[in-house]
Amino acid sequence: MLLGCLCGASAALAADAAYSEAEFLEELPTVLTASRLRQPISEAPNAMTVIDRDMITASGFRNLADLLKLVPGMYVSYYKGAQPIVSYHGSLDQYARSMQVLIDGRSVYLPPTNLVDWAALPIIPADIERIEVIRGPAAASYGANSVHGVINIITHEATLFNGTNVAVTRGNNGINDVQGQFGAHGEKFDYRMTLAYTADNGYDDRTAMHFPSSFPQLMNNSNDSNQARLLNYRANYYPREGDDLDIQFGVSRDVQGVGFWDSHLQRNPFHDLIHENGFLMLTWQHQLGNDSELTARVAHTRSTTREQLNPGVTAQPARNDVNVDVSVLTVQHALALAADNRVLYGMELEQDDARGTIRFLEFTPTVHRNTLNRQAARLFAHDEWRISRQFVSNVGGMWEDDGQGNTRFSPRGALNIHVVPDHTLRVGVSVAYRTPSFTEQYNAPSLPYQLGDRFTVGVQKLALAPEKTRSREIGYLGQFNRHASSLDVRIFKEQFSHGIFPTRTGFANGLTGSFTGVETTFKHDFDAQTHLTLNHAREYGRSNVPALQPGLRDLLAGSIPRNSMSALFMHQFARGFSVSAAVYRQGAMQPFDRGVMDFQPKQKRVDVRVAQQLKQVLGINGELAGVVQNLFKQNYTEYVASNVFDQRAYVTLKLNF
């Protein structure tokens, strides 16, 4: 019935205008992530959200993870002031292990621990050109750990940067940021570099809301400050026509205040958690002619975490060190077999190493140490076939050996139907897997304390199978050119089995269930200076795990906000003055791996940004901008009840030379 309604509506809109196929393709945004091929978004095999540069600026966000609030169905919260949780379909735990995250195609998802260390990524929002988000399984293109979707953060190319800018941000709650960017454009060599320092006090000295009086010792969290320093560099070298060598590297050091005030047990007392992250990536693209391109990429990422604390009622000094190295070699070839058929295929080799050491330094030092490694291999292929002017098929898959004794094949197929120009229906199916992490397989529940990154160092390997997800979706993408509007709708059902979840004795398979829902994005341009984006998601979940919160069907159902929405309005006035406003709403939820004390009631928040462009004087121009988050002080709790988000305000002065 729904398909019939959508087809009827699309046919009725055909009278708006008659467009040629060339015009139709040019007007739609182009994406790179869905199939690794450059495609109009109307011909991608998955539902996608694109957050462009204008939206990034208008949001006023300082933190990279917060930008994902502009994606329908995305859950963004914080375990601590500098430990974001970014997850599609609510949150299964604080590490959100099922989303693949890329920066310019390089995975920053750390397979040994199955998490993304958002706070330690050597990148700031000013580096980003756009963010492409695949909403739904994409293991056919990116392998295990893409079962909920893929976030691809695309940074500014060095070619587009020429000059210097500096920016200073000051605000309440200890907000203190400084950043500088510089670069130059040459005939055969372009480069850009970013240096940045960011700091804030997190949720300091905020008393928990809706907190049971029986837990007074847990009502205050006053140690979650953050100080980060980072550098990233990108250069492009063009030795000859048809060749492009992209060079990127970056480093960061992030110091977080962690722990909780717990006078009774002192399992996790206040201390510092130090994250250091570094990467190097080289990408070579060679044009072979006839729409054929060969790409080779080698990337290495190192993540180090250190903490020292004194847990226990009787203090027992302890130190926890975690070192993770991930090296990946990727080679792919894209070519056109015919005017209506494009193919991409390739392979990927990955080496993962993790070293974890926990030292208990009581009277007799005790050391728990483990070194783990694995080698994964992947073969992938994708075929895009224009069956006719109205029908485009996308079929692909990935074979993967995860290096832990598991081999799997993840297929995907989609048919895109251009009912009339600018109105497309998409039907898609896929199968995806998530590989167990070292943290899950080698969990050591006998250790007396759960430390920072939860990289435990047990020696007994648990027999865990990969999680499996089957997905079916129907999508509609329409552009109403006469009304300067667009509408994107996704209806989906994702069924999963062999889900991995924590128990009292470690992790276990056995979680089964499904996600179903509808996601909608509506965009409207009032004129060239005024734009509106509306996102809404209504989602249901079910599983075989009983609920903690009375009145809920099961634990998974309670961990998903039934309704969530975001709205971003942007207007550019004359003489360089601009205003933007955003509204974020989320239904009540019970975090999957938290107790009932951390139940999150409904939340609503309004952010406002105002900015004035500064006229050029002596070759210098810039911008003065002010941001108020939670304008109406509708305070709400984040992932942990002691994280209360109140009003934050800051001012940024940016100068361009």
What percentage of the chain reaches a pLDDT higher than 90? Answer: 58
Quick one: average pLDDT of 572-600?
89
Q: Across-strand partners of 149?
A: 99, 135
Do 226 and 235 meet the contact criterion of CB atoms below 8 Å apart? no
What local confidence, expressed as pLDDT, does residue 300 receive?
A: 97
Task: Determine the Cα–Cα distance for residues 635 and 562; give it in Å rounded to an integer.
Answer: 20
What is d(CA 462, CA 456) in angstroms, rounded to the nearest whole number? Answer: 13
Q: Which residues of 139-169 are buried (b: 16+ CB within 10 A; e: fewer)?
A: bbbbbbbbbbbbbbbbbbebbebeeebbbeb
User: What local confidence, expressed as pLDDT, does residue 151 receive?
Assistant: 95
Stretch among 24-38, 61-75, 204-218, 557-571 having the lowest mean pLDDT:
204-218
Angle in degrees, CA 608, 612, 614, rounded to 5: 155
At 95, is the pLDDT very low, low, confident or very high (cuts 50, 70, 90)? confident
Question: For the chain, what's the residue count?
Answer: 657
CB atoms within 10 A of CB 97: 25
Evaluate if residue 23 carries a pLDDT over 80: no
At position 617, the amino acid (one-letter code) is V
- Which two structure tokens, joined as six digits, stand for 463? 């027999």
**pLDDT at residue 209, as a whole number:** 47
pLDDT of 500: 85
Q: Give mean pLDDT, residues 165-173.
A: 95
For residues 392-396, average pLDDT: 97
Q: Per-residue b/e over 13-23, b at no fewer than 16 CB within 10 Å?
A: beebeebeeee
Element (H, E) at 657: none
Nearest-angstrom CA–CA distance, 252 and 273: 14
Q: What is the pLDDT of residues 435-468, one digit of tens each?
A: 888 777 776 544 433 334 444 445 556 788 899 9
Distance CA 81, CA 119 (A): 10
pLDDT digits (tens, 9 = 90+) for 258-317: 877 655 566 677 888 899 999 999 999 999 988 899 999 999 999 998 888 776 666 666
Q: Which residue has the higher pLDDT, 534 or 319?
A: 534
pLDDT of residue 221: 63
pLDDT digits (tens, 9 = 90+) for 118-154: 988 999 999 999 999 999 999 999 988 899 999 999 9
pLDDT at site 264: 55
Q: CA 608: distance to chain centroid?
A: 23
Assigned superfamily of 2-656 = TonB-dependent receptor, beta-barrel domain (2.40.170.20)
Give the model's pLDDT for residue 459: 53
Is the predicted pLDDT of residue 384 greater than 70, yes or no? yes
SS3 of residue 460 by DSSP: coil
Q: Which pLDDT score, from 0 to 100, does residue 451 have?
A: 39
Distance of CA 184 to the CA centre of its chain: 30
Domain ranges of the chain: 2-656
Residue 254: its pLDDT value, please? 94
pLDDT digits (tens, 9 = 90+) for 591-640: 877 777 788 889 999 999 999 999 888 888 999 999 999 999 998 888 88
In whole angstroms, how far apart are CA 618 and each of 162, 166, 575, 603, 623?
18, 16, 19, 47, 15
Q: Is the per-residue pLDDT at 188 higher than 60? A: yes
Distances (CA, A) of 446 to 363, 416, 450, 493: 20, 52, 10, 39
Place of tokens 């002691």: 642
In this predicted structure, the answer to whether residue 189 has a pLDDT above a threshold of 90 is yes
Please name which of 519, 521, 523, 522 lies closest in space to residue 537, comparing C-alpha atoms: 519
| Residue 151 contacts residue 334 (beta carbons within 8 Å) | no
* pLDDT at res. 494: 95
